[in-house]
Amino acid sequence: MSVMTVREAINSALAEEMRRDPSVVLMGCDVALKGGPFGVTLGLLKEFGPERVYDTPISEPGFTGIGVGLAATGIRPVIEIMFCDWVTLAMDQIVNMAAKMRYMFGGKVNMPIVFRIPFGAGGGQAAQHSQSLEAWFNHVPGLKIVVPSTPADYKGLLKAAIRDDNPVLFFEHKRNYMLKGEVPSGDYIKPLGKADIKRSGADVTIVTYSSMVFSSLEAAEALEKEGIDCEVIDLCTLLPLDYDTVLASIAKTNRVVVVHEAQKRGGIGSDIVAEIVERGFDLLDAPPLRVGALNIPVPYNEALEKMCLPDAGKIAECVRKLVNNQI
């Protein structure tokens, strides 16, 4: 065990995988010389050389396509799209090529590609640098979506994602890079598709991921003093989603709220709630709820930004209403 930041966890995962497997290649804007806009890939160019760590021009449609070509020809590329907001430029290659090639080509092509996508709001980054668009990809069969929270999860899940033969979208919350946590030593792999119970509880289930895990835990602590015992489930992977863990928890608590930083309308919470109702209707003692950002582009002004985004206080408020039958 060692304590490291999320950034260090990602860096060590990349380094370890690149050492272990010479076919792993990194690509993205500023990932080589600068070590990434958030310093995540520092030192990798030095260790592995320019044949394995590529600085690209600002050509998302181009270099994501190059990533697809690499993956189809025996390389395992890890492509960084600097900000989730610009994944819009890469949509064609992710959706029409990476997600579909294996299926369309009768299983004849491998697509072991990882797209690392820093996302998330806060700090006045404003509308075009704050988005969380993971819900879009839930709608594309053939992709996998990973959303770690703690440094240990980042490390274990990234290593698993790189070893997975499918296209994986790996979302990193850009405001959590300095978060510290204990990370197991050695070749630590955390399997995709399994949710974690980050906090056990009996009264209500909070289903969440990424930065909102911490806000939910904060809310849970406050609520504990009011006699409300929250169970916090960290989904870790959004696609495929571990409904077994979620439903087992709801069977215990009979109340659920899904929390994400992305806008409430059309966020992945909508799909999760629909599945919960379909699979676990009789377990529910109250309507399943969602907490998400307001349905507006993230504003620049600090106060407005705070009003827009979910936080521990808003989560706690929602849980209170749920438990007191005020919804």
Partner 1 sequence: MSDIEKIKELIPCFVPMEEKVDDIPMEKQVNMFRTMCLIRAFEERVRDLWLQNKIRGLAHLYVYAEAIAAGACEALEPGDYITSTHRGHGHALARGAEPRLMMAELLGKREGYNRGKGGSMHIADVSAGILGATGIVGSGIGPATGAALSAKIKKDGKVSLCFFGDGASNQGPFFECMNMAAAWNLPIIFLCENNFWGIGTELNRITKNTNIYERSIGFGVPGVQVDGFNVLEVYRAVKKAVDRARAGDGPTLIEARFMRIEGHHSGDTQAYRDLSSIKFLYDFDPILRMQKYLTEVCGITTETIDAIRSEVNKLIDEAVSYAENECTEPSQSDLYEDLYANGEIVL
Partner 2 sequence: MQKALIMPKIGMNMAEATITKWLVKPGDFVKKGDIILEAETDKAVQEIMATETGTVLKILVQEGETVPCQTEIALLSGDNEKVPVDQKSSTEATTNNNAKISEPVIPTAEKATTQKPVLISEKKRIIASPLAKKIAAENGIDLAALEAEVGNRRIVGKDVREYIKRMETKAAESVPSAPAPSKRFVPFSSLRKRSATRLQDSATNKPRVPLSTTVNCENLVAWRKQLAERGSKVSYNALIIKSCAMALRKHPMLNALGREDGIEIIDDINIGIAVNTEEGLYVPVIHNADKMNVVDITQKIETLAQKAREGKITIDEMSGGTFTITNLGTYGVEEFSPIINPPECLILGIGEMKRWPAVVGDDIIPQWQMKITLCFDHRMTDGVPAAKCLQTIKEYLEQPLMML
Binding residues for partner 2, per CB under 8 A? Answer: 254, 281-286, 325
Contact status, residue 234 vs residue 242, Cβ threshold 8 Å: no
Give the pair of three-digit tokens for residue 36: 């990434």
Q: What is the DSSP letter of 97?
A: I
Q: How many CB atoms lie within 10 A of CB 211?
A: 24
Q: What is the DSSP letter of 42?
A: T
- Peptide bond before 118: cis, by omega within 30 degrees of 0? no
Which residue in 8, 129, 134, 231 is the catalytic one?
129
Distance CA 160, CA 170 (A): 11
> Does residue 59 touch partner 1 according to CB under 8 A?
yes
Is 60 assigned a catalytic role? Answer: yes
Q: How is 268-306 classified by DSSP, letter by letter?
A: HHHHHHHHHHHHHGGG-SS--EEEEE-SSPPPSSHHHHH
> Does residue 104 touch partner 1 according to CB under 8 A?
yes
102 binds, among partner 2, partner 1, none (CB under 5 to 8 A by kind): partner 1
CB of 326 to partner 2, least distance (A): 8
Q: Which residue lies nearer to partner 1 by CB, 54 or 119? A: 54
CB of 106 to partner 1, least distance (A): 3
Torsion of CA 58, 60, 61, 66, to 10 degrees: 100
Mark the segment that binds partner 1 (CB under 8 A) among 107-115, 123-131, 222-230, 304-312: 107-115
> Does residue 221 touch partner 1 according to CB under 8 A?
no
108 binds, among partner 2, partner 1, none (CB under 5 to 8 A by kind): partner 1
> Does residue 69 touch partner 1 according to CB under 8 A?
yes
Is 275 assigned a catalytic role? Answer: no
Residue choice 85, 153, 164, 242 for contact with partner 1 (CB under 8 A): 164
69 binds, among partner 1, partner 2, none (CB under 5 to 8 A by kind): partner 1
Distance CA 236, CA 239 (A): 9
Q: How many CB atoms lie within 10 A of CB 108?
A: 9
> Does residue 72 touch partner 1 according to CB under 8 A?
yes
Give the pair of three-digit tokens for residue 289: 């709820």
Residues contacting partner 1: total by CB under 8 A: 47
Q: Which residue lies nearer to partner 1 by CB, 63 or 177? A: 63
Dmax of the chain from CA atoms?
60
List contacts with partner 1 (CB under 8 A). Answer: 25, 51-52, 54, 56-57, 59, 61-75, 77, 92-93, 96-97, 101-112, 141-142, 144, 164-166, 239-240
Catalytic residue ranges = 60, 129
